[in-house]
A and B are shown apart, each in its own frame.
Chain A
Amino acid sequence: MRQSKRRYAGVAEQGVSILITLFGLLILTFVIGRIMPTDPVRAMVGEDATREVYENVYRQLGLDKPMWQQFLIYLRDIATFDFGTSIRTGKPVLEDIARVLPATIELATFAIIIGAGLGTPMGVIAATNKDKWQDQLIRVFSLMGHSMPIFWTGMIALLVFYANLGWVGGSGRMSQFYIGLVPERTNFLLIDSALAGQWDVFRSALNHIILPASLLGYSSSAYITRMTRSFMLDQINQEYVTTARVKGLSRRQTIWRHAFGNIRVQLVTIVALAYGALLEGAVLIETVFAWPGFGQYLTSNLLIGDMNAVMTCVLIVGVIFIGLNILSDILYRVFDPRTR
C-alpha cells in the first residue's frame, strides 16, 4: 500500500519535471527564433517588396507586439500543433517533418541495432581479456571507427561495396526505378513497402539502408565499446563476481549471468544517448548517401534562415531527448531493484 503510494508520487514527480523541461525547451526555441540574425519578414516577402507590404506582414506575424505576447502566441500555436509554413518548401512544417523524420528514424534505428549489437559484446570481450591481443585488436578497431570522418568512410564504402563489388544499393532510400511505386502511409519505407506487399521495393530499401546504417552503427559502436569496456572493468573486480566463481560458475557464466546484469543500467543510458545523437540527424552521411532525412532538412533550412522549420526541428530534437531520458529512467527501474 505504502509502496504503491510512493510509486505514484514518483510518477507525479517525474511528470512535473518533464513539464518543466518542456517549458524550458519552448523558451529556448522561442529565443533562438528571435535572436537569429535573419529577418523572417524579408525571407517571406522577398527583397523587392514595398515598405507597405513589408509592414503588413510584420504585423501579421505579430512582431509588433511585446515579447511576452509573442511568446504566448507561440505557446498557443504549439499547443494546437500549428508550426507554421516552411518558406523553402511552401508546405506546412509538420508535413515536411512527417516525411523526413521517418527516413532518419529508419536509418538511426538500424544503425543503433548494429552499433549496440556490435559494441556491447566487443566491450565485454575487451574487458575480460584486458591487455591481451583481443583487447588490443578491439581497441584499435573501435578507435578507427571513432576517428575516421564519416563522410570519408561513406564515400570509400560506396566506392568499394556499391561501385566495385555491387553488394549493396547506392545512394537514396531505394532504386530510382521504384520511386513513387509505394503508397506513402507511414513514410517508413520498409513498413510501407511491406504493407503494400511490394517485396521488390522492400528488398531494394534494405539494400540501400544497410551501408549507411552499418557505417553509422560502426561509428557509434566505437563509443559503446569503449564505455562497455570500462563499465565491465569496474564490475569484474567486484566481490560478487568472486562469489559467483567460488560457487563454481565458469568465467563466461560469471560475466554474463552476474557482471553483465549490473552494467545494463549504465549501458541503457549510453545507448539511448547514442540513439538520440543519430536521430538528431547524421547530416554528413545523409548528404553522402542522398538520404532525404531530418539532418539534411534541418541543415538546409538553417542555411537559408527558414525559422519556422528550424525552430520546429530544434523542438523535435529536444522532445526526442526528453523521450529517451524517460525511457532510460523506466528501464533503470526495470533493471535495478535498488531504484524501485
Chain B
Amino acid sequence: MDPILEVKNLSIRYHGAPEPAVRNVSFTLGRERLGIVGESGSGKSTVGRAIMRLIDSAEITADTMRFEDVDLLNASERQMLKVRGKRMSMILQDPKFSLNPIQRCGHQIAEAYRTHVRCSKAEARAKAVKMLEQVHIRDPERVYDLYPHEVSGGMGQRVMIAMMLLTSPDLVIADEPTSALDVTVRLQVLRILDGLVKDKGIGLVMISHDLNLVRAFCDRVLIMYAGRLVETLDARDLNNAQHPYTRGLLAAQPRIGGSRAPLPVLNRQDSWLTPQAQGDAL
C-alpha cells in the first residue's frame, strides 16, 4: 500500500536561528498510528507544523516531503488551502487557547465543513451536530450553542476532535492532544480519538511526551532528541529500546507501587548528537 505521508531528510531552520530546529528527519506513514516522542524543544511539534505548512518564518528543506499526491515542499498556498482541513488536519493541545473564545463551539465546527463544502447553514449544522454525537457528547444540540468558556477541558478537546475529523481527512496530526487535560479525562478523550481514527482509516501522527500513552495508542514510535530522530521502533518493543536516550527516558518513569528511591536522572551525552550515533540507532 502506498504511504500517506513520506518524509525524507527533513530539516527546518527558523530565520535568525544559528542551529536548525530539526535536522534530517525521515519517516513514512501508512494507515497507522505513529507516535513522535521527545522532550520539550526536541522539534516534534515543529515537524507536525511543517507538514501542515504552517510555519512561515523558517527555511524548510528535504529530499522528499509528500502527502499522497501533494508535494508539500513545492505546493503553493492555494493548493495547500484545498488540502488543509480537508485531507489533513491537526488537533492542537489546549482547547482553552485553540478554540476561538468569542464564537460558539458548533459554529466553529461547522466552519470546518463549510470551508470545503458548499452547503446551506442548516446542512453544516446537522453535520456538526452528528459529529458531536460521534465524539460522545450527550446533548449535542445544546453544546453546539455553547461558547468555549462554557465547556470543560475534556469537552473542549472533543469539540476540537469533532472539528478536525468532520471532513474525514486521510491524515490527522495530534499535537499533544491530551497534555492539557485532567488525567481522569485523558484516556476517555484518547479512546474517542482512537475509535474514530480506526473507523475512518485515518493515518494518525501523535506527538507526545508521554511514553505510556504512545505505547498504548500507537503502532510505531519515533524518538526525537535535539531535533534529530534517534530511534524508530514498534510500540510494543518500546521496552527493548536500544538507544541510551530512550532507555534513560523509560528508566525515569515513576511506577505506582515501585520503590521510593529517587528516579534515575538522564545522563546526557554529546555523542547522541553525532550522525554516527543516529546511524547506529537506526
Q: B54, A245: Cβ atoms under 8 Å?
A: yes
Q: Mostly helix, strand, loop or mixed at chain A's interface? A: helix
Minimal Cβ-Cβ distance residue in A for B85: A248
A337 at the interface (CB under 8 A from B): yes
A-chain residues with CB within 8 Å of residue B89 when the two chains form the complex: 246-247
Q: B85, A246: Cβ atoms under 8 Å?
A: yes
Q: B115, A240: Cβ atoms under 8 Å?
A: no
B-chain residues with CB within 8 Å of residue A248 when the two chains form the complex: 81-86, 112, 115-116
A338 at the interface (CB under 8 A from B): yes
Q: List 28 A-B contacts (CB under 8 A).
A: A238-B97, A239-B93, A240-B99, A240-B100, A242-B92, A243-B98, A243-B108, A245-B54, A246-B85, A246-B89, A246-B92, A247-B85, A247-B111, A247-B112, A247-B163, A248-B82, A248-B112, A249-B81, A249-B85, A258-B103, A261-B100, A261-B102, A262-B102, A335-B102, A336-B101, A337-B101, A337-B102, A338-B149
B-chain residues with CB within 8 Å of residue A338 when the two chains form the complex: 101-102, 147, 149
B-chain residues with CB within 8 Å of residue A245 when the two chains form the complex: 54, 84
B206 at the interface (CB under 8 A from A): no
Binary interface encoding of chain B residues 105-139 relative to chain A, with 1 for a CB under 8 A from any of its CBs, else 0: 00010011001100000000000000000000000
A-chain residues with CB within 8 Å of residue B164 when the two chains form the complex: 246
Within B171-200, the residues touching A (CB, 8 Å) are none
Q: A242, B102: Cβ atoms under 8 Å?
A: no
Q: B111, A243: Cβ atoms under 8 Å?
A: no
A314 at the interface (CB under 8 A from B): no
A250 at the interface (CB under 8 A from B): yes
Q: B84, A239: Cβ atoms under 8 Å?
A: no
Q: A243, B147: Cβ atoms under 8 Å?
A: no
Within B36-86, the residues touching A (CB, 8 Å) are 52, 54, 77, 81-86
The 7 closest A-B pairs by CB, nearest first: A248-B85, A239-B97, A247-B85, A239-B98, A240-B100, A248-B84, A337-B147
Within A256-305, the residues touching B (CB, 8 Å) are 258, 261-262
Size range of the chain A interface in the assembly = 20 to 34
B-chain residues with CB within 8 Å of residue A242 when the two chains form the complex: 54, 92, 98
Interface centre among B98, B116, B147, B164 (most CB of A within 10 A): B98
B-chain residues with CB within 8 Å of residue A250 when the two chains form the complex: 77, 81
Minimal Cβ-Cβ distance residue in A for B93: A239
Minimal Cβ-Cβ distance residue in B for A340: B147
B-chain residues with CB within 8 Å of residue A246 when the two chains form the complex: 52, 54, 84-85, 89-90, 92, 164
Q: How far is the CA of A248 from the CA of B149 in the complex (A)?
A: 24
Known A243-B92, A244-B100, A262-B101; 14 more pairs at CB < 8 Å:
A243-B108, A243-B160, A245-B54, A247-B84, A247-B85, A247-B163, A248-B81, A248-B115, A250-B77, A250-B81, A336-B102, A337-B101, A337-B102, A338-B147
